[in-house]
């Protein structure tokens, strides 16, 4: 039996062994509005200069600075206002000496003008013929109050590199530069089986000796949070032949296959044996951690197969540590690992840790410090702790418990940043 030969592998080595089989998925074109949260598979470049023309930052009058060089309070100058240009419009002709154009914020500076006198410093009126005029009492410099073409970004500049996650600000850039479609990495297709004769589906009534299948729903939700595409393939009885059949026939259809259950030590220790019969290489079947020590991961022709524990907490932890980074890499994320931070432990955790422990916890911010609290240690927390979990508190093996105020490491599960190393 496989379990007789199990040697617990330290967590970092287990992660490294899985990540040897990381691969990037394909690329697809997505409409700008369907690209949120995906990863760019191409650079976003400035397809035109910004601003694309000399632009007025204010409401005022555009004119030629040379026309103003002798002006002062004692020697005001009067300009003929030939037209008004609003944002989105252009002046109808080039400005001539002695002329000004009333210009609105964001509008293009007319040909022949090279500065803008703000509305507040100008006096408006009419000349003898009733034509609008403007009087100015100071000199203007060339390019004063003009946002010059290309002054913010030159055409061709790479603004957001391939491998970046698309957030609302990136979507604004895509729109600015006319990317109505964009190349993004595909989502991995993940197939999920739950194994266990004791399992009932969510909509089945309770039966003696049975429990409802919660891991399949949880894993689907975790996959959704990771940004992957998930298909639930159903539950399997603890029977070698039917499990083997189901797993081997699904293998071709998915980028990654996850099963829950069927990995604990005992007579029904199915998954490791199924992996062997498939000809898959078992990367490990025991990890030096709690919970999740019986997590099994295998590799078959470059595809990673996860045999997660049937215990909900162990299943949850196994997914986030070993599956999340593979899926992030597949989706093109250059920072595939969950962000890990130094944090202050908010309450005592006095359990001894012979192995590295991933305590489900809750993140708080207190006066600039990151503080983490174990997600409830009372009775019903066994059931509810995952509902209140947004971090793992990492407690090293070989310790006799931790005290409130100790510095610990925390793995952030809902942070979008990620990091490049485990």
Nearer to its own copies, 165 or 283 (CB): 165
What is the per-residue DSSP string for 73-117?
A: SSS-EEEEEEEEE-TT---SS---TTEEEEE-TTPBPPTT--EEE
Using CB under 8 A as the binding rule, whether residue 144 contacts its own copies is answered as: no
One of 206, 241, 302, 421 touching its own copies (CB under 8 A): 206
Strand intervals (E) in 107-160: 115-118, 122-126, 132-136, 158-160
Number of amino acids touching its own copies (CB under 8 A):
106
For its own copies, the binding residue among 12, 36, 125, 156 (CB under 8 A) is: 36
d(CA 86, CA 100): 14
Beta partners for 290? Answer: 357
The three-class DSSP label of residue 70 is coil
* 17, 27, 45, 53: residue in contact with its own copies (rule CB under 8 A): 53
Matching residue, tokens 């006095």:
350
Give the dihedral sign, CA 45/47/49/51.
Answer: negative
* 3 state DSSP class of 410: strand
For residues 345 to 364, the per-residue mask of contacts with its own copies, x marking binding by CB under 8 A and - elsewhere, is ---------------x--x-
Q: Dig out the tokens for 140 from the structure.
A: 């203007």
Q: Which residue, 171 or 248, has its beta carbon nearer to its own copies? A: 171
Structure tokens at 401: 């418990």
- Taking residues 224 to 243 in sequence order and writing x for each that binds its own copies by CB under 8 A, - otherwise, the string is xx-----------xx-----
Does residue number 418 form part of the binding site for its own copies (CB under 8 A)?
no
Q: Give the residue with the Cβ less far from its own copies, 85 or 283.
A: 85
Among 26, 130, 178, 398, binds its own copies (CB under 8 A): 178
Name which of residues 7 to 26 contact its own copies (CB under 8 A).
none
- Residue 74 beta carbon to its own copies: minimum distance, rounded to whole angstroms: 31
Please list the alpha-helical segments (H only) found in 184-227. 215-226
Report the site for its own copies in 322-341 (rule: CB under 8 A). 339, 341
Which residue among 82, 95, 101, 107 contacts its own copies (CB under 8 A)?
Answer: 107
Instruction: Work out which of 70, 74, 203, 241 binds its own copies, going by CB under 8 A.
Output: 203
Is the bond into 51 cis (omega within 30 degrees of 0)?
A: yes
Q: Is 121 in the site for its own copies (CB under 8 A)?
A: no
Is residue 380 a contact point for its own copies (CB under 8 A)? yes
HSE on the CB side for 99, CA within 13 Å? 15
Among 64, 113, 170, 271, binds its own copies (CB under 8 A): 170
């Amino acid at each position: 039996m496989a379990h007789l030969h199990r040697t617990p592998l330290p967590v970092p080595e287990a992660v490294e062994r899985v990540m040897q089989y990381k691969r990037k998925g394909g690329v697809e074109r997505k409409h700008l509005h369907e690209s949120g949260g995906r990863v760019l598979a191409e650079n976003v470049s400035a397809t035109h200069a910004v601003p694309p023309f000399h632009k007025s930052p204010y409401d005022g009058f555009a004119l030629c600075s040379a026309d103003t060089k002798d002006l002062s309070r004692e020697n005001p100058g009067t300009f003929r206002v030939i037209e008004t240009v609003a944002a989105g419009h252009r002046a109808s002709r080039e400005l001539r000496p002695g002329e000004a154009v009333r210009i609105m914020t964001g509008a293009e500076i007319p040909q022949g003008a090279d500065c803008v006198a703000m509305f507040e410093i100008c006096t408006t009126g009419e000349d003898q013929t009733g034509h609008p005029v403007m009087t100015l009492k100071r000199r203007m410099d060339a390019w004063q109050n003009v946002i010059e073409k290309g002054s913010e970004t030159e055409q061709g500049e790479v603004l957001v590199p391939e491998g970046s996650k698309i957030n609302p600000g990136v979507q604004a850039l895509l729109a600015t530069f006319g990317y109505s479609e964009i190349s993004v990495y595909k989502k991995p297709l993940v197939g999920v089986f739950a194994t266990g004769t004791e399992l009932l589906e969510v909509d089945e009534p309770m039966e003696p000796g049975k429990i409802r299948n919660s891991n399949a729903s949880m894993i689907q939700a975790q996959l959704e949070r990771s940004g992957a595409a998930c298909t639930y393939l159903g539950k399997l009885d603890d029977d070698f032949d039917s499990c083997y059949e189901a797993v081997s026939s699904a293998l071709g259809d998915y980028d990654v296959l996850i099963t829950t259950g069927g990995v604990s030590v005992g007579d029904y220790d199915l998954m490791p044996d199924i992996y062997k019969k498939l000809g898959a290489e078992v990367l490990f079947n025991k990890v030096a951690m709690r919970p999740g020590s019986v997590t099994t991961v295998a590799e078959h022709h470059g595809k990673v197969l996860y045999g997660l524990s049937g215990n909900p907490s162990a299943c949850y932890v196994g997914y986030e540590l070993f599956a999340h980074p593979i899926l992030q890499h597949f989706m093109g994320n250059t920072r595939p690992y969950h962000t890990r931070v130094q944090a202050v432990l908010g309450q005592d955790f006095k359990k001894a840790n012979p192995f590295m422990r991933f305590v489900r916890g809750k993140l708080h911010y207190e006066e600039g410090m990151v503080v983490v609290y174990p997600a409830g240690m009372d009775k019903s927390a066994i059931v509810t702790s995952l509902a209140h979990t947004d971090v793992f508190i990492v407690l090293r093996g070989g310790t006799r418990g931790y005290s409130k105020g100790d510095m610990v490491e925390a793995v952030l599960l809902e942070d979008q940043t990620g990091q490049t190393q485990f």
